[in-house]
Amino acid sequence: MLRSYAQLVTLLSATKALALFPDCSSGPLKNETICDSSATPLDRAKSLVALYTLEEKINATGSTSPGVHRLGIPPYEWWNEGLHGIAGPFTNFSDSGDYSYSTSFPQPITMGAAFDDQLIKAVATVISIEARAFNNANRTGLDFWTPNINPFRDPRWGRGQETPGEDPYHLSSYVHALIAGLQGDSSDPYKRVVATCKHYAGYDMENWNGNFRYQFDAQISQQDLVEYYLPSFQSCARDSNVGAFMCSYNAVNGVPTCADPYLLQTILREHWGWTNEEQWVTSDCDAIQNVFLPHQWSSTREQAVADSLIAGTDLDCGSYMPNHLPGAFAQGLVNETVLDQALVRQYSSLIRLGWFDAPEKQPYRQLDFSDVATNASQQLAYRAAAEGIVLLKNDGLLPLTIDSSTSVGLFGEWANATDDLLGNYYGVATYLHSPLWAAEQLNITVNYASGLGSSSDPTTNFGWMSVWPAAAASDVIIFISGITNDIEAEEKDRVSLSWTGPQLDMIGQLAGLGKPMIVVQMGGGQLDSSPIVNNPNISALLWGGYPGQDGGVAIMDIITGKAAPAGRLPLTQYPSSYTNEVPMTDMSLRPGPTSPGRTYKWYNGTAVFEFGSGLHYTNFSASVNRGLESSYDISELMSTCKQSNETYPDRCAFTPSPIQVEITNIGTTSSDYVTLAYLTGSFGPAPYPKKSLVAYQRLFSISGGSSDIAALNLTLGSLARVDMKGNKVLYPGEYSLLIDN
């Protein structure tokens, strides 16, 4: 059987048979319940699984499923990526022509800076529509292992760029919008695609100081688990009905997550009510192997696959489960009922995607390449980049006034960036518009010299020599640099939060020329920008993250005022000394004798830039119009909640709600404005967080002298604190609502 499975997988890979469909009209299954579209997904899936032999069932537990030829079940690849656009490793792009590209949006860290959930839903909708078009052409699957919704706890984490930021409420709201866009409305008869929330849970380290993600045991208190590490996953499961979860490489408090019934059953399925038959869990790739080695949780390979399957992992990314389940069955370590349950979950999911139904009855099956990279999706990619760029310093130089006589010098390794604009987990973009390309479209003189081939290039690199004549010929200097996937990436954590010596040296020399100068910091993780902020010869500093296929245009439009900045930092910018103050392996959030604390809520040092920082080209004022009283009675709040019949009290509305905040543009430049609402006060267990984000809303195009209303919906969960046992409690005390930073 092992030879058979290997041969089938090889055939599947060779033929690229990624998205074929079963034939329910004339195939072997046409008279079976699986092909009866009037039956329930559960009954249909059970009918199919009952037709499988044990060998066929076991073969179906790997992510590259060979299918069952005798029943007309084609091969299926479960592993597809769609972090910010459809991507590999199994999406098949043509070399040219149709299906040779798709829309590539900014990385989540940049889209998170927009604080615009409507934008996130729109982006996810485009991704799912393009995925469907590729799927109809047999070029990708229907299950996408996105989003990465682990909070960006430590600034060194190489994969933090894949997340919306560090705040659990922000992540929860972001992912709710994203899943709605990817999967479609719950009332739709078919899902567009199935999203997968990963990595569950406590995963935010790649390779730090000899600690590898495959073997790391994250020690997390129950309080921190409930308060910080799980809210985004709760939003996925309980509040958003996501189709799939991915368990992570690491262990949590001694137990590898893919073999942990507490996380996969007690919390996920029982406490959060994630019990639909179509909801399934996949391992991260080779994470089931890690249950055996290096975690050494299970004593044998057979026990590792049995433990994982019984705990609630339904699919193995890899071949470990198909290879070792036969031995597990032979040893009596697992029974067929558990295996059947896993397969019923998988096939119920495919049924909800319309995999077994006639294509003419499904609107999504009619999509083709004409629905990919449309004008609207290209405009949305640009909008996502422009909304996410953050202005951190401006002495009045920006927006930059230019005309045909203006000469601009563009320098730095990001000035002519192409693939770097995308970050990681990207497909083939429609185009890649670098800052240099965008500048060249303006009616100005552009003097370009990278100078730095990489962030660590020393002066022995003779590319430096080209910088000085270009700078001398320029009226304005723009230096675009930072970090790339060479520095931060999967399996690669950072060791420093500083700009490199060569970068600061070149910045300093350019600033010393006495010309107007702008610095644009790129990359997902923050760098300590103190030397730039404190240099009076540098007029402006922006952060652009990984802004996607039109990122260069968005950057230049912000600089020249065609677009107005309104993004906010979705994470804290720490001083470079932070790396010496707390190890990455310390999962605790609160400050203590050996830690200054983590995130804007608990960090007791002085941040270079706080979470939520962001300037505009105008000024705003805020005033609460309606919704707040001087005091509230907790028993009355709870009584009102019970009358609403809400299953989970933390979702009950805080009445009166919404709280209306009037935002007035007291300047002259039209601009968006992100209304951030924080709660602070002395209530619940000490120590108290400095503040906690409880609501946000992006308002659009508020012209000078005009106002708009932000309607902020708070819940009882917004007011709750988490005690040491992990309970959410409403405490009496003094509460204050803060608007903006």
pLDDT at 9: 42
pLDDT at 643: 93
CATH number at residue 732: 2.60.40.10
Cis peptide before 570 (omega within 30 of 0): no
User: How large is the average pLDDT for residues 170-183?
Assistant: 98
Q: Is residue 586 part of a domain?
A: no
Q: Is the model's pLDDT at 205 over the cut of 70?
A: yes
pLDDT at 655: 80
Residues 720 and 651 in one domain: yes
Angle, CA 68 vertex, CA 62 and CA 71 arms, to 5°: 150
CATH number at residue 330: 3.20.20.300
pLDDT band at 460 (very low <50, low <70, confident <90, very high): low
Q: Is residue 27 part of a domain?
A: no
CA–CA distance, 189 with 51 (Å, rounded to integer):
26
Residues 98 and 230 in one domain: yes
Q: Is residue 593 part of a domain?
A: no
DSSP β-bridge partners for residue 709: 662
Residues 533 and 666 in one domain: no
Residues 396 and 347 in one domain: no
- Based on the number of CB atoms within 10 Å of its own CB, is 723 exposed (0-12), middle (13-18) or buried (19 or more)? middle
Residues 660 and 726 in one domain: yes
Residues 86 and 230 in one domain: yes
Q: Domain total for the chain?
A: 3
Residues 351 and 476 in one domain: no
Residues 83 and 124 in one domain: yes
CA–CA distance, 285 with 572 (Å, rounded to integer):
31
pLDDT at 8: 39
Only one residue has tokens 């009290």, namely 649
Task: Dig out the tokens for 456 from the structure.
Answer: 């660590």
pLDDT band at 147 (very low <50, low <70, confident <90, very high): very high
pLDDT at 451: 87
Q: Is residue 6 part of a domain?
A: no
Q: Is residue 164 part of a domain?
A: yes
At 331-384, the pLDDT tens digits run 999 999 999 999 999 999 999 999 999 999 899 999 999 999 999 999 999 999
**pTM of the entire predicted model:** 0.96
pLDDT band at 4 (very low <50, low <70, confident <90, very high): very low
pLDDT at 15: 38
Residues 721 and 678 in one domain: yes
Q: Is residue 19 part of a domain?
A: no
Q: Is the model's pLDDT at 18 over the cut of 50?
A: no
Residues 304 and 443 in one domain: no
pLDDT band at 3 (very low <50, low <70, confident <90, very high): very low
- Average pLDDT of the chain? 95
pLDDT band at 462 (very low <50, low <70, confident <90, very high): low
Q: In terms of Cα–Cα distance, which of 605, 590, 493 is closest to 209?
A: 493
CATH number at residue 481: 3.40.50.1700
pLDDT band at 718 (very low <50, low <70, confident <90, very high): very high
Give the domain extent around 118: 33-371
Residues 358 and 394 in one domain: no
pLDDT at 396: 97
pLDDT at 1: 32
Active-site residue, 284 included: yes
List 143, 167, 224, 284, catalytic entry: 284
Per cent of the chain over pLDDT 70 is 97
pLDDT at 447: 98
Q: Is residue 18 part of a domain?
A: no
CA–CA distance, 55 with 358 (Å, rounded to integer):
29
Q: Is the model's pLDDT at 131 over the cut of 50?
A: yes
CA–CA distance, 53 with 298 (Å, rounded to integer):
27
Residues 569 and 631 in one domain: no
The residues near 229 (Cβ < 8 Å, ≥ 6 apart) are 150, 151, 201, 202, 220, 587
pLDDT at 350: 98
Q: Is residue 615 part of a domain?
A: no
Instruction: Point out the domain boundary residue: 580, 598, 633.
Output: 580
> Which whole-number Å values give the CA distances from 591 to 3, 432, 594, 736, in the listed order?
55, 43, 8, 22
User: How large is the average pLDDT for residues 123-149?
Assistant: 98
pLDDT band at 16 (very low <50, low <70, confident <90, very high): very low
Which secondary-structure segment (H or E) carries 383? Answer: helix 375-388
At 618-674, the pLDDT tens digits run 999 999 987 777 899 999 999 999 999 999 999 999 987 799 999 999 999 999 999
At 404-457, the pLDDT tens digits run 999 999 999 999 999 999 999 999 999 999 999 999 999 999 999 998 877 777
At 428-440, the pLDDT tens digits run 999 999 999 999 9
Task: Dig out the tokens for 228 from the structure.
Answer: 């910080």
Instruction: Point out the domain boundary residue: 343, 371, 399.
Output: 371
Instruction: Point out the domain boundary residue: 341, 371, 401.
Output: 371
